[in-house]
Structure 1
């Protein structure tokens, strides 16, 4: 159905018994064909315009990107979507907005992605920083436990993933919790494993949260283009700030550090915009073909159902229901499955066995992850995963 939009990445390596089945797509989606022309157009524009390229980039390309992001997340203001090469840069810029001379209490979970986890561990070395981590499991009680703690103490920052990177499980009622957050708590949602995979409606929390995601995973535009939504009337003054934040005032600098009431408040500095061109080309392709996030999500849900059917029939010693970290496929799961193999050595062995059968997946310690994408055939039964 959708495979026609992708180049033949899916051929098996020499000596492999069957066609390639790419199931590491939760980490890096293959790029649609239109991205090749987009990269070449970026090269032509940059080479021809040189420094003049900033005009069309800031006046046309970035607003177009912001507009499609706002539409996909149901946000009221596209100009409150900041961009950067990665989400870590944006989150750290937000962290730099807090007064370093005052206590900083942060509420999060024990299931956040490595970059934020590492950054918090480093910040905890400072005497004024205190971090509280809520155990993500059991998932059935996570929402209640997180919300209770959020209102029990005075937290300056709360941070949680919409879809956990290590399991694919959706944080239950996270948007509802954010909607009722304490007024003085800044609330950040890591939406990377939900963006352009699951339908997301931020209309009721747009003025209460920062939402981060990017193009590397489910959009399929590659690395180097991430975003963070900003609540309206935000007055934070990042200590980590770059010259792009003064883009509108470069010719009339006053000598004071001012901040715009739009996305430039969290702007950084020079970056490569080739991925911006790729992302816009993909949005244009999907718009022409009538491909929506809702259709993508339904397509993947159907694929996941076929996978589970094949798995249940296979009686695989590792890839089975007892090892699957599973919450609620229809309402509470992202676009990949994770199996707890109990030991890193076992997950590595299974990964190698799958690769020998031309199935590409990835792992995190003892956790083996298998993802789904719209370039999987619509009648794929995933027998290739289970046949030994």
Structure 2
């Protein structure tokens, strides 16, 4: 795919993509939530309308059409991962897929689940709750990053059921190191490995083969950097593996319709049907397929988007440094190399929640997690919008937090 743009094009007087997001009015808003929810291009609305039209025209014959649209979404994810050797199941949320995956594992034979203290909500909340029910959950500190992979590898043994790790640290936006080493140790010990790539996909180039993760489970979704909206989470899993999740939906039977189980056991679907759930809201697929087409038509590759993101991050950091605010009020990790920072700037502050609320009241949208205020740029924003957002935050700090 050849891009129609150079990274520098996004920093001219007017962002060349902004007109394509007119219904979200991105040119006149300060939307620094690109790491949690990006605006949808106008063409996504065409997908929603097409879904309605297909339903009206085809009625119950619509499912063959929906299947084609769903495959387009899967193809979009495969392209982003450069994955030619895995199956993909779509679902409304990553949580839906992860609990199905956990229900397919052999807890009778192995008991330990390994994770970190820097996971996003889907993994962290569910594993904390399982720990309350007596599951053996080992949580490894993500810092220091330099020794992260080695410390995880040391804990993987013959009792390890699965390792569940985000490719990007939840609080700091740091890209996790050494996932290939963790995969290698999991393979050696017969443990499964799940990588949450939600905060990597379409903002940092990700090649599943070059990353050494061809044998891994990969989960993610479209709500953030892919701009697909809700309802397009995915689970990628290796070919040549068979699973029987205890939590299973009737859509999994599509692969076995017309067959009868000889022992009256529930028949499990194969391939992408393995982790299928129930009836889907197909409008999300139509919207996503049209957005994937849009990105392809515009040549918005992960490589280009990464260049743009790094330049936007530099603008945010420079604007923050120019504020010269006290570090005990707000600061950031200056040791993090630009190549190791993913798609958002994480500012550490004991007042993060307050700053988020104050910014929101002034129509500057960010988010906060514990002691971190997060600014997430997006490719349709211009330099002035980035600078202005940080300047407004600086005004709040000076007026309400500095005495």
Aligned residue runs from structure 1 range 205-220, under 5 A: 205-220=212-227
CA–CA distance in 1 between the matches of 2:131 and 2:141?
18
Which of 307, 323, 343 is the aligned partner of 2:331? 323
Query: Residue 353 of structure 2 corresponds to which residue in structure 1?
Result: 348
CA–CA distance in 1 between the matches of 2:327 and 2:359?
12
- 353 and 10 in structure 1: CA distance in 2 versus 1, 3 angstrom threshold: farther
Describe the superposition over 1:89-126 as per-residue Cα deviations: whole angstroms up to 9, x where unpaired.
11111110123544421011011122322221222244
Describe the superposition over 1:359-383 as per-residue Cα deviations: whole angstroms up to 9, x where unpaired.
2111123221111100111565514
Which of 359, 366, 369 is the aligned partner of 2:371? 366
Query: Residue 294 of structure 1 corresponds to which residue in structure 2?
Result: 303
Q: 1:325 Cα shift?
A: 3.7
2:183 pairs with 1:178: yes
Query: Residue 257 of structure 2 corresponds to which residue in structure 1?
Result: 250
Which of 75, 78, 81 is the aligned partner of 1:73? 81
- 225 and 240 in structure 1: CA distance in 2 versus 1, 3 angstrom threshold: same
**Does the CA-based 8 Å contact 1:300-1:373 persist in structure 2?**
yes
Mean Cα displacement is larger for which, 207-216 or 142-151? 142-151
Aligned residue runs from structure 1 range 235-314, under 5 A: 235-254=242-261, 255-314=264-323
SS across alignment from 1:157: strand
CA–CA distance in 2 between the matches of 1:383 and 1:65?
36
Describe the superposition over 1:240-294 as per-residue Cα deviations: whole angstroms up to 9, x where unpaired.
1111111133233434433344111111111101111111111111111111111
Describe the superposition over 1:269-326 as per-residue Cα deviations: whole angstroms up to 9, x where unpaired.
1110111111111111111111111111110110111111121122134699x72145
Query: Residue 19 of structure 2 corresponds to which residue in structure 1?
Result: 4
2:107 pairs with 1:95: no
**Does the CA-based 8 Å contact 1:108-1:158 persist in structure 2?**
yes
2:147 pairs with 1:141: yes
Q: 1:327 Cα shift?
A: 5.2
**Does the CA-based 8 Å contact 1:75-1:206 persist in structure 2?**
no
Describe the superposition over 1:125-152 as per-residue Cα deviations: whole angstroms up to 9, x where unpaired.
444x21111001122221221122225x
- 206 and 348 in structure 1: CA distance in 2 versus 1, 3 angstrom threshold: closer
User: Which consecutive unaligned segments of at least 5 residues does structure 2 have?
Assistant: 1-15, 396-403
CA–CA distance in 2 between the matches of 1:87 and 1:319?
36
**Does the CA-based 8 Å contact 2:149-2:177 persist in structure 1?**
yes
Matched length: 374
Query: Residue 382 of structure 2 corresponds to which residue in structure 1?
Result: 377
**Does the CA-based 8 Å contact 1:362-1:369 persist in structure 2?**
yes
**Does the CA-based 8 Å contact 2:208-2:214 persist in structure 1?**
no
- 100 and 138 in structure 1: CA distance in 2 versus 1, 3 angstrom threshold: closer
SS across alignment from 1:252: coil
Query: Residue 16 of structure 1 corresponds to which residue in structure 2?
Result: none
- 182 and 288 in structure 1: CA distance in 2 versus 1, 3 angstrom threshold: closer
CA–CA distance in 1 between the matches of 2:209 and 2:26?
42
Query: Residue 130 of structure 1 corresponds to which residue in structure 2?
Result: 136
**Does the CA-based 8 Å contact 2:164-2:195 persist in structure 1?**
yes
TM-score (norm 2): 0.86
Query: Residue 228 of structure 2 corresponds to which residue in structure 1?
Result: 221
2:60 pairs with 1:51: yes
**Does the CA-based 8 Å contact 2:256-2:269 persist in structure 1?**
no
Mean Cα displacement is larger for which, 295-304 or 93-102? 93-102
SS across alignment from 2:136: strand
